[in-house]
Structure 1
Amino acid sequence: MRLKTLLLGAGATLALAPAAMAERGADGHVNVIYSQAPSILNPYLSAGTKDIESASLILEPLIRYDQTGAIQPWLVEEVPTVENGGVSEDLTTITYKIKPGLKWSDGTDFTADDAVFTAEYCMHPEGGCAQLAKFEGVSKVEAPDPLTVVVTFAAPKPFPYGPFSGGQSPIIQKAQFADCLGARAPECTTANFMPIGTGPFKVDEFRPNDVISLSANPNYRDPAKPAFATMTFKGGGDAAAAARAVLETGEFDYAWNTQLAPEVLEEMLKGGKGQLVNAFGTLVERIEINMTDPSPDLPEGERSTAKHPHPIFSDIRVRTALSKAIDRQLLSDIGYGEAGRPTCNLVPAPAMFASTDNTGCIPQDMEGAKALLDEAGWTDTDGDGVRDKDGVKFSILYQTSTNAVRQDFQAVIKQWWEELGIQVELKNVDGSVYFGGDPGSPDTFQKFYADVEMYANNFDGTDPESYLAMYTCDKAPKPESQWQGENINRFCDPAYDALIAELGKTGELDKRGEIARKLNDMLTKDSMVIIPLVDRGRLSAHANTLGGVVLNTWDSELWNAADWYRIK
């Protein structure tokens, strides 16, 4: 049976309706497994998907995106617009009206003050917020009354749905995090590991990099939800073990990101215990090039910072050569089959934001890559097979997370780069650590103590403004921000920053699309600081007995866990 016949589209699930839910928790226990274990339950201190998504079971935003990418009111009465008066005519304010009667899981009232505090927490000048781009252009957030939140922007903001939207920007409780502002944020272990939320579940126990025990939130706004009384969220291992636990053994009900070769998944599906769900969104596997020097010879605190430009990659000809040597179609075929397609774009969708003329990277061009390196002065002067320049060997460290597909990619790309005359050392780090955001760890993707690194992420919703704003100069991770920040490769171009500002005040959709495409091209074609590889379909698995699953590529994958139920 071909894999493509088993992949369901966005929002697809079993065509079964749940029985009338007599009471919350009536369906007992549910098991979820992620091959990358959560290390923290505060998305403002981690850009790792496994942390953001596990936290989304507990913490919620004011608005979020459904499986079609449409904005939905979540903790508010309606989505503010100019038409309904929620967005001011001059586009400088957006006003949210919170649903009355909402409670935190500890039974206290959820109020607008919590949203005001959340903004203060992320925007604190002495802190490091992993989601700071969500608050791009915000000048202040106020609460004129307990159920009203007013966000004011420094300039007209045609797309004002950054703050408090999607799984990346939820509301945290002011009472719990009040003493955790600025540099103190990482020190608040209890709050970061066991946040109080408004979501369908609450944390009973959290063992970082291992397992989360959750139970139904007794104060959840729908008295019939969630259907499951308890949940075990297991993390770690690898994608194969996670997929097998759902598709073959039936030990788990849901497995995230079954990033495996197509033939492996086809064999697992024969177990008959579960099914795959797949949809394309904005998830791009890419290589980020470090624009700063990660050398361990530098003093701690100066490695991978703007104080020291990268000694090799400061030349765009070198960066372009790395890209030209890659056969993206082959990578897509061996890694994802029907669930992947080669891309040169960081933003592959929606169509209006995807650059259509940025396709030059698709055909592999080894000779062109070699010519560029020659032109840049990197030649093999001593005949040992490794290029050198001014006495420096072209030797790089290439890191990524531990995953069978990613290690396959590393091995193949290493061969291509070595064919160019580059010495390549490979490193893989457990995903729980790599994506964990621990400021004390040398192995996080934010700290970037390597020359190039590979991973994938995406953005909430269908508008890429906040996503592209991650690459402005001020968002580079550094010691002063506890190594938080979204500008992973430390790219800094005032022209890029200016274009981000222009996007922020542009309302006309065609013009927004034009600007977003230019920004995409600046990162991937004009400067080549990001090397996109594969536009990945989101591919996960769930048990045949788990109903209500709606795969969402535009928000947290666990966005509707409150609606899951047991098929009896």
Structure 2
Amino acid sequence: MKTKTLLLGAIASAAMASAAFAERGSDGNVSILYWQAPSILNPFLSGGTKDVESASLVIEPLARYNEAGELVPWLVEEIPTVENGGVSEDLTTITWKITPGLKWSDGTAFTSADVKFTYDYCTHPEGGCAQVTKFEGVESVETPDDLTVVVNFSEPTPFPYGPFVGGESPIIQAAQFADCMGAKAPECTEQNFNPIGTGPFVVDEFRPNDVITMSANPNFRDPDKPAFATLTFKGGGDATAAGRAVMETGEFDYAWNLQLAPDVIAEMQEGGKGVPVAGFGPLLERIMINQTDPSPNLPEGERSTAKHPHPFLTDPAVYKAMSMAIDRPLLVEVGYGQAGKVTCNWVPAPEAFASTSMTCDTQDIAGANKMLDDAGIVDTDGDGIREKDGVPLKILYQTSTNAVRQDFQALIKQWWSEIGIEAELRNVNASVFFGGDPGSPDTFQKFYADVEMYANTFNGTDPQSYLGNMLCDKAPRPETQWQGENISRWCSEEYDALHAELAQTAGLEARAEIAKRLNDMVIEGGAMIPLVHRGRLSAHANTLGGVILNVWDSELWNVADWYRLEGS
């Protein structure tokens, strides 16, 4: 079978007719394998996809996005709009009506107080919240009654669907997290490992960076779901082992993020136990450029903070030359095949929001060298490494442990050496790298390196909240327990002002135009180097029904609808 068919056409399983559920828990156990192991089940304390998606089995948002990128009600009766009266005419409030009768897994009532508490928790001035950009522009949250939530914005907000929408912005129970506000949040191990939720499963045991065992939520809103009585969520290993465990050996039912070469995927499918599922959303593999100095010679608490700018990575000649030296088409070919595309954009999708102002599909080593020469950044001592103001262009280049990423590192290290930049390569276990532990020196948020490579995406089809990640005040730092999505510590007052304009702009065309300008400012300003627009590629067992890959929300968004196919 042709690779393209495998990657882009292997979603036929999503079209299988849904089987009628006999009763909750009638299909035994379902096993899920994420080779990046979850380290916490609180997405407000981790920006890692593995943590957000594992938590989505338990805690849920008011609304989320379906497989077509459409906003759908989840814990509410309908999506508020101006037309139905849920959004005020002046666009300063949005009112959510909670579905009556919802219960937490402990049997207590789910109310508007829990929603307001979630807002207070994430925006606490003494805390750090990985998802705080979801609440950008929110002035207050009110609860007129137990089933009504009113979100008030400080300015007219044409797109009011940031707070409490999508897998990155779920609701946590006020009673459980009451003593976990502000700086105490990371200390609440029991709550962060065993959240009470409204989702289809409850946590029985959580072993960080290893395995989570779950069972069907006895108080889930649909009495016939989930079909599975128990769920095993295994973490660790690597993408190769995960793919084989589903498609060759049949040990697991679902494997996430098969970041593997296309010929490897094709070979695995020949095992006959499972099929890959793929789709393109806004997932971007990129290199983040540290705007601050990560030197270990600096005092702890000052490394990678605004107190100390980076000695050379803020120079346009340097970061532009680094980008020019990269052969992106080769990276796509080596790493992803049909599951990858060359891109110059931070926001590569949806198409309406993708900038067309830049090109980067041709490697230009000669041009990169000339750019550095013209800027006076030259090799003065003949050791092959250029210097800027006496500082050698030596960088620590880190990423998570993964075969494709290590291949990328090796190639890029070679290309950078050809323009006089020396790169030391480092890879960190993905569970630690994406874990968000404020005490670890190895997280991508802490960024104790000069450049780092990973992929990230956003929920939904409007990038407003995602673009808010690059606001000046969203930089991780000690005061936020190293939480925050402005990983590069890039800061531009002009960018902040333009993002505020986006938040107040209506109409798709006008919003898209501003979003493209914001995208271009980040790339031209040197916050990151985009590499590959990646398709999301996972696999499920032939015996598992109901799987619908969703590139706009949590990949496990409809796990309540999964079931075991008859006769399997």
1:500-544 CA-to-partner distances (Å, cap 9, x unmatched) read 0000000122110000000000011x2122100000000000000
What value does the CA root-mean-square deviation take over the aligned residues?
A: 1.0
1:215-240 CA-to-partner distances (Å, cap 9, x unmatched) read 00000000000000001000011000
CA contact (8 A) 1:35 1:239 kept: yes
**Number of the residue aligned with 1:564:** 562
2: CA distance, partners of 1:102 / 1:14: 28
Q: Match for 1:542: what amino acid?
A: H
1: CA distance, partners of 2:424 / 2:4: 35
**Number of the residue aligned with 2:178:** 178
**Number of the residue aligned with 1:542:** 540
Matched residue SS, 1:516:
helix
1:246-286 CA-to-partner distances (Å, cap 9, x unmatched) read 01000000000000011111111110100000000000000
Matched residue SS, 1:378:
coil
2: CA distance, partners of 1:391 / 1:131: 40
**Number of the residue aligned with 2:421:** 422
2: CA distance, partners of 1:20 / 1:334: 43
2: CA distance, partners of 1:527 / 1:164: 31
Moved more, 380-389 or 537-546: 380-389
Q: Match for 2:263: what amino acid?
A: E
**From 550, 556, 566, the counterpart of 1:552:** 550
CA contact (8 A) 1:10 1:280 kept: no
Moved more, 376-385 or 187-196: 376-385
CA contact (8 A) 1:261 1:335 kept: yes
Q: Match for 1:128: what amino acid?
A: G
**Number of the residue aligned with 1:68:** 68
Moved more, 380-389 or 202-211: 380-389
Normalising by structure 2, we get a TM-score of 0.99
CA contact (8 A) 1:10 1:68 kept: no
1: CA distance, partners of 2:310 / 2:340: 32
In the TM superposition, residue 298 of structure 1 has moved relative to its aligned partner by 0.1
2: CA distance, partners of 1:320 / 1:10: 38
**Number of the residue aligned with 1:202:** 202
1: CA distance, partners of 2:10 / 2:86: 30
CA contact (8 A) 1:3 1:262 kept: yes
1: CA distance, partners of 2:491 / 2:364: 28
**Number of the residue aligned with 1:502:** 501
In the TM superposition, residue 30 of structure 1 has moved relative to its aligned partner by 0.5
2: CA distance, partners of 1:375 / 1:15: 57
2: CA distance, partners of 1:84 / 1:216: 35
Normalising by structure 1, we get a TM-score of 0.99
Asked whether 1:527 is paired with 2:525, we answer yes
CA contact (8 A) 2:314 2:526 kept: no
Matched residue SS, 1:13:
helix
CA contact (8 A) 2:10 2:276 kept: no
Asked whether 1:134 is paired with 2:134, we answer yes
1: CA distance, partners of 2:469 / 2:199: 27
**Structure 1 unaligned residues grouped into runs of 5+:** none
Asked whether 1:161 is paired with 2:161, we answer yes
CA contact (8 A) 2:11 2:276 kept: no
1:86-124 CA-to-partner distances (Å, cap 9, x unmatched) read 000000000000000000000000000000000000011
2: CA distance, partners of 1:532 / 1:391: 29
In the TM superposition, residue 19 of structure 1 has moved relative to its aligned partner by 3.2
In the TM superposition, residue 12 of structure 1 has moved relative to its aligned partner by 4.8
1: CA distance, partners of 2:312 / 2:9: 43
**Structure 2 unaligned residues grouped into runs of 5+:** none
1: CA distance, partners of 2:212 / 2:466: 29
Q: Match for 1:545: what amino acid?
A: T
In the TM superposition, residue 376 of structure 1 has moved relative to its aligned partner by 2.5
Q: Match for 1:448: what amino acid?
A: F
Percent identity, aligned pairs only? 72
Moved more, 387-396 or 56-65: 387-396
Q: Match for 2:558: what amino acid?
A: N
2: CA distance, partners of 1:508 / 1:289: 33
Matched residue SS, 1:284:
strand
CA contact (8 A) 2:253 2:540 kept: yes
